[in-house]
Every structure is written in structure tokens, then in C-alpha cells.
Chain A
Amino acid sequence: MWLIIGLIAGAAVLGLVLWMRGKDVSVKWYEWLIGAIGLLLLLFTIQNFAGSLAELESTAANMFLLVSGLPAIILLAVAWQLIARRQRAG
């Protein structure tokens, strides 16, 4: 599973970087940091959600969505909005 997740995540990040270069979007270091933490948290959530379901621990699986999945989405959204708003202002 990690191989597939790694391939998808790597392809997504590569696609994002290429797309941003094409659109001439600049990203500050702290935006990279927030985005990277959000992505790691998202991967952590996916692994533990899927793992918990495989362990027949449905409550734990849902708790992972709440406890680590939600912060992951928030961090990724913050990174996206910081970049988007600066682009609009610039």
C-alpha cells in the first residue's frame, strides 16, 4: 500500500510543482512547511484509517479521520489560501 501511496503522492507533488511553475506561482518556505506537514498528516491518517479498518476497529478508524485527518485538511487549506491570497494581492 505504501508503494502506491508514495507513487501517487510523488506524482501529485511533481504535478503541483510543474503546474505552479507553468503558472508562475511562487511559494514561501513556510508555505512549503505547512503544506508538507499537512501532507504527512494526511498520509498518516490514510494509513491508520485503512489499518484500523483492517483491524476491524471502526471507531478507531473514524477517530483518526477526526483527530489527524481534519487537522491535515486544515493545514493543506491554510497553505493553499496563503499562496492564493498572496498571488491575488500581487
Chain B
Amino acid sequence: MNTPLNSFSTQKSDAACKPLTSRIFSSAARGQSPSQSNPLVLSIPCRRSEPFTFDAPLFLRAGTDSVLPTALLVRLQSAAREFGIPFLAKQVADDGSVSLGMGPQHMRIVPLEYDRPLASEEFRGARGAEMQLFGSPYSMDHSRSRTSSWTPALPIELQSFEALSKKVELIRVLLGGKGVVGAAIAPGMVYDDVRLVIDSNFDYVTLLSHVTHGFEDGQSLQLRDGTAVLQEAVRAKCDAGRPDFPLFVSVAATTGDEIVEWIARGATAVCLDHSITSQRPPSTANAPDSFSNFLGGYTAPVAANYQWIGAAMRKLVEQIDDRLVYLGYTTLGEFLAMVKAS
């Protein structure tokens, strides 16, 4: 499973010679459904409805921990529609220019903190929900951590981990029965946590080894080496008999080549936050929104320009596409099948 990427480079085919006409944004321009011609399409099976399909092995977590500026949220929603990239955000933009209707391109995922009450309005228009299984004070039992015994980080109102699957089903009902429910875990005892997630009927798991806050420079944190964490998670999936279980990772990937490398190591999708932040142009480093961190939440009247985010996403998708073609694969599915077989 953990095959080095270099081993793929000898399998070049005719696909490497053909022009890259099947890009995501070109299919949208031709008026086609992105999944019809997009070689990067990914699909996560839902338990009750049609699969959750998105158009690249990428996702965004920028809106997980904070309420985003409206301009940024609008930009993310627009990018989600254009590139088919799901994003986590607590709120939806109330900007009239962005349609909030439920559709295949509506990809907001609601982050759920471990002890926060479930608010039904947050689920409106969301395509999924991601429960955070970390940060619980009951999981920080230092006497147990010394003996390396695993303590599941459960939501506060659950007394046993058997009850977790019932709460997962409740979230599915609140999503209208047609959404995915994922779990985010911190890089602690990853093996046991992934087994818990799989046994509790989640649809996917997100592994956080590197987190970035709101596309801001200097606001990222490396929690643990991503390679070791991913190895543990992949081993847990295989031991649970679910090697196909979707595994999202938030790692410090900067380029599309690195994203393909993480996929080759076993990730299903890679978080884009660090990649996009690394491409932030210097001219926007002092954008008006950054003043809100100081001056007691003062928000400048001039709207920040987030157009560079779309360009950064486009560049990353192009890099992934180029890398796959260079390696000799015409579709992501073909690449993933090869990774699985290896």
C-alpha cells in the first residue's frame, strides 16, 4: 500500500501524449456534467442515498474552526461549484449571487464540535457533516496516557462508544437522509481511532496531521509526521476489512505532485488549505480581513479580494492532472486501482 511514487514513473502510455482536454473547468465550460469527462472524479458511497461525488481528490477545511468572512465564503462556494471541491464551513453565505439550492455541486460539509448541540438550521443545504472526535476533556486522562491505553474521544453526552453509531445515524437523519457523515481525528492513537470510526458506521475519516487556519500565513500547525500517521490509518483500514474506506488527510502538501504522492501512500483525498496558503500572493498578505485579528474584531469596510484562491485551486488541479498523465494514468480511478493493487 505504501508504494513509493517513483515506481509509477515507468508506466507511461499514450495518454501522456494526448492534450489535456479533459480538465475539470473545461468540462464546465462545454456545458457538460463535470463527472462525465473529468478524469479526477471521486465517489464516496453513502449508506442511504446516491454516492457523494466530487471532482478532484481535494477538499478544504478553512471554515472549520471559525466563521469565515462573507467574501471568502462566497469565493469558496464558487470554487466548489467550479472545481467540484467540497469544503467544510459552519455557515452558508447569504450573498444572493450564490445559489444555495441543493444540487450535485453543493458541497458544504458541516463541522460538528464534540460537545456542541446540533442545530438543525446548520444542516440546511449541507451535503455532509463531519464530527470532530478530539478535544474532549474526558479523553485527556493523563494517568491512562502514561500506560498507553486507548481512550475514545466521544461526544460529551455519550457514555459508551456503542452509542456513537446511533448519533451518527441521527446526523444522517438531520441531513435529510442523503448526506455523508465523516469523523475528524487528531494524530494520537490513530489505529484505534480509525477502527472506532469504521465500526461506528461513519462514511469517511479525516486525519489531521497539519492544520491551517483561514488561509492565513503563519497560522498553520504541524501536529505529527503525516507519513507515520497515514501508515497507521491504512493498517487500521485493512485490519478492519475495509481497505476502500475513504481516508481524507490534512497534511503539509504544497504542490499537486505532493498531493499525488499522498494519494499513492493511501489517502483518498488531500486537504488543500496549506497548498493554497503557500500560494497566497504577497500583495494580499495585509488584506483588510487580517486586521480583524487585532483591533477587537474590527472589520475593514473594503472587501478582501480572494480571486487568487480560484487561481491557486486551478493550478493545483492542473498539476495533479499533469502528474497523473505523466505517470501514465488517464483517470484517477485507474491510478487508485493501481495503488490498491500494489
Q: Do A and B bind each other?
A: no
Binding site for A on B (CB under 8 A): none
